[in-house]
Amino acid sequence: MSIDLLREPLRNRGTAFTTEERERLGVAGLLPPRVETIDEQVARVLANLRGKASPLEKYVYLSGIQDANETLYYRTLIDHLEETVPTVYTPTVGEACLRWSCIYQRPRGLYVSARERGRIGAVLANWPRDEVAIIVVTDGGRILDLGDLGANGMGIPIGKLALYVACAGIDPARCLPVLLDAGTDNAAVRGDPLYLGLRAARLAGAEYDAFVEEFVAATQARFPGVLVQFEDFANANAFRLLARYRERLRCFNDDIQGTGAMGLAGLYAALRITGGRLAEQRLLFFGAGEANIGIGTLVAAALGREGLTLAQARERCWFFDSQGLVTRDRHALAEHKRTFAQDHAPVAGLLEAVEAVRPTALIGASGQPGAFSAPVLAAMARLNARPIVFALSNPTAKAECTAAEAYRAAGGRAIFASGSPFPPVELDGRSHHTGQGNNAFVFPGIGLGVLATGCTRVTDEMYFAAADALAAQVGAQDLACGRIFPPAARLREVALAVATAVAEAGYAKGIAAVPRPPDLAAHIRQGMYAAAY
């Protein structure tokens, strides 16, 4: 039926269907008479959006637009990235996940639950499009820093893919968000009468691995060569799954590898202000999970490029977790922490660790708000002319310190970045603009570069390339106001630059399937979805 066209978000143009199209497609009279341009439609969306009282209402409203007319949704995002990204992505997506069971209205993406074990291929066959090129999948195990949210985690793959489309110009028809419902150990979530996921304990051990394996195999059978991005898996699973699949298929773990590139880029940009070399830094990582181990691993590899041995490089990277400084004498250290364990006496408190390590940079990815206390920040300010402080935990309420706390403690000398956005801080007549240290600056470009060139794997070199390209996108004007990441408004340009660098890395490694075009950036740009009718 013709009215079905108006209910299909990828094809619907709503009031932008011309009179001739309305006649031809049999939708005349099903729309109000006025024919609008997409810009007029965007103006209406913005007027409504700005009238919403809360961030969650904005999220729900924009989701409604996405379900009605994806071209309009993406046009709005692309033209207003700075305004809309905090709604469709962090921080508001965190609140959306917490309230998912309540705000759920229409299906989007695939829910693959443990109940479907043995026939996951048939579930994937239900997806109506064959052209899927990228899957973002979570099992809801560690959603931002909100813990195990089970099936409520679906907001994350949807949000990440919205950025793939808006920032990297991946065609929305090629994107598939997936929630792997392995159960949840969160009693509050399971006990919520509105909860939409399986009310069962999380699968663990071999059963869990077999579930993921069946899913991964089914993705490759249904969509051969599809790029799989693992997102917000708890760290007990994330490192193992990455190790298992990274050589087998086109995949990456954004929390580990994407964050690694973002963190390294942030450090390179910060060093353009402080003037030092990476090899001269001492880094203290607060939190030794996926995010910080990802950054530490890439930093250590980058130090290798500067001529340090791996052992020397790791000596520059100190980690502090819930048990204190990560030292060799600690028992039962998880594998991913062991390589960074230092020969040092135990240190239980962060302030003591700062005094002992004397770091030039303090990098938080721990989900512990307030952990960078006034004395910790004051010590960083005393030890460094320009202390580098990253509070990367998401959403905003989980940041290790606020922007204002970081700048005030150092009399405005801090070089600060945070995972979720903070407004500018006025201090002593100066305006300090915080850079958003978020892997949104990395993963869209990684996906775009890999897909545009048909690279068969996502390699470590691509993350170096992404870090260098992102750091190069930070302009003198950004640095002048203290910002070491580009503003969100430039996410699309950044994605193209990262994609081009990633593609170059793929050609250098000989893993690209598409013959190298003479102008790589132009080739990638011309393939980007533009959200136009």
- Residue matched to tokens 């990684």: 446
Tell me the C-alpha distance between 342 and 360, whole Å: 17
- Residue matched to tokens 């439609």: 41
Q: What share of the chain is helix, strand, coil (3-state, %, to 5)?
A: 50, 10, 40
Q: Name the residue whose CB lies closest to ligand NAI.
A: 289
User: Which CB, 392 or 415, lies closer to ligand NAI?
Assistant: 392
Stretch that binds ligand NAI, among 364-372, 447-455, 465-473, 498-506 (CB under 6 A): 364-372
User: Which CB, 392 or 502, lies closer to ligand NAI?
Assistant: 392
Stretch that binds ligand NAI, among 41-49, 433-441, 480-488, 520-528 (CB under 6 A): 433-441
First to last CA, the chain: 21
Q: Whole-number minimum distance, CB 71 to ligand NAI, in Å?
A: 28
User: Which CB, 251 or 288, lies closer to ligand NAI?
Assistant: 288
Q: Whole-number minimum distance, CB 147 to ligand NAI, in Å?
A: 9
Tell me the C-alpha distance between 370 and 398, whole Å: 8
User: Which CB, 92 or 368, lies closer to ligand NAI?
Assistant: 368
Tell me the C-alpha distance between 399 and 408, whole Å: 16
Among 147, 419, 449, 487, binds ligand NAI (CB under 6 A): 419
Q: Which amino acid is at 77?
A: L
- Residue matched to tokens 């007027």: 47
Among 138, 186, 439, 500, binds ligand NAI (CB under 6 A): 439
- The one catalytic residue among 59, 89, 164, 268: 89
Among 148, 171, 231, 255, binds ligand NAI (CB under 6 A): 255
Tell me the C-alpha distance between 99 and 406, whole Å: 31
Query: Cα Rg for the chain, rounded, in angstroms?
Result: 23
Q: Whole-number minimum distance, CB 353 to ligand NAI, in Å?
A: 10
Tell me the C-alpha distance between 357 and 248, whole Å: 39
Residues 6+ apart with CB under 8 A from 303: 278, 279, 312, 313, 316
Task: Quickly count: other Cβ atoms within 10 Å of residue 322's Cβ.
Answer: 9
Q: Whole-number minimum distance, CB 320 to ligand NAI, in Å?
A: 6
Q: Whole-number minimum distance, CB 350 to ligand NAI, in Å?
A: 7
Among 235, 281, 434, 473, binds ligand NAI (CB under 6 A): 235
Chain residues 297-326 in contact with ligand NAI, contact rule CB under 6 A: 320-322
Task: Quickly count: other Cβ atoms within 10 Å of residue 358's Cβ.
Answer: 14
Tell me the C-alpha distance between 130 and 109, whole Å: 14
Stretch that binds ligand NAI, among 141-149, 217-225, 270-278, 452-460 (CB under 6 A): 141-149
| Helix runs in 473-490, H state only | 476-480
Q: Is 288 in the site for ligand NAI (CB under 6 A)?
A: yes
Q: Is 197 in the site for ligand NAI (CB under 6 A)?
A: no
425 by DSSP, 3-state: which? strand
Q: Is 184 in the site for ligand NAI (CB under 6 A)?
A: no
Helix 259-274 / helix 460-472 crossing angle, nearest 10 deg: 40
Q: Whole-number minimum distance, CB 222 to ligand NAI, in Å?
A: 28
Q: Is 89 a catalytic residue?
A: yes
Q: Whole-number minimum distance, CB 69 to ligand NAI, in Å?
A: 30
Q: Is 76 in the site for ligand NAI (CB under 6 A)?
A: no
Structure tokens of 384?
């460094």
Structure tokens of 494?
């950044």
Among 22, 75, 142, 316, binds ligand NAI (CB under 6 A): 142
Q: Is 160 a catalytic residue?
A: yes
**Dihedral angle over CA of 13, 61, 175, 156, nearest 10:** 180
Q: Whole-number minimum distance, CB 462 to ligand NAI, in Å?
A: 17
- The one catalytic residue among 73, 111, 160, 407: 160
Helix 443-453 / helix 460-472 crossing angle, nearest 10 deg: 120
Q: Is 290 in the site for ligand NAI (CB under 6 A)?
A: yes
Q: Is 262 in the site for ligand NAI (CB under 6 A)?
A: yes
Q: Is 438 in the site for ligand NAI (CB under 6 A)?
A: yes
Print the binding letters for residues 390-409 with ligand NAI: x by CB under 6 A, - otherwise: --xxx---x-----------
User: Which CB, 320 or 529, lies closer to ligand NAI?
Assistant: 320
User: Which CB, 157 or 367, lies closer to ligand NAI?
Assistant: 367
Q: Whole-number minimum distance, CB 117 to ligand NAI, in Å?
A: 26
Q: What are the strands of the beta sheet with 324-325, ordered from one edge?
A: 324-325, 317-321, 283-286, 361-364, 388-391, 415-418, 435-436
Tell me the C-alpha distance between 428 and 423, whole Å: 16
Tell me the C-alpha distance between 505 and 395, whole Å: 32
In the complex, which residues of this chain contact ligand NAI (CB under 6 A)?
142, 144-145, 235, 255, 259, 262, 286-292, 320-322, 365-368, 392-394, 398, 419, 437-439
Active site residues: 89, 160
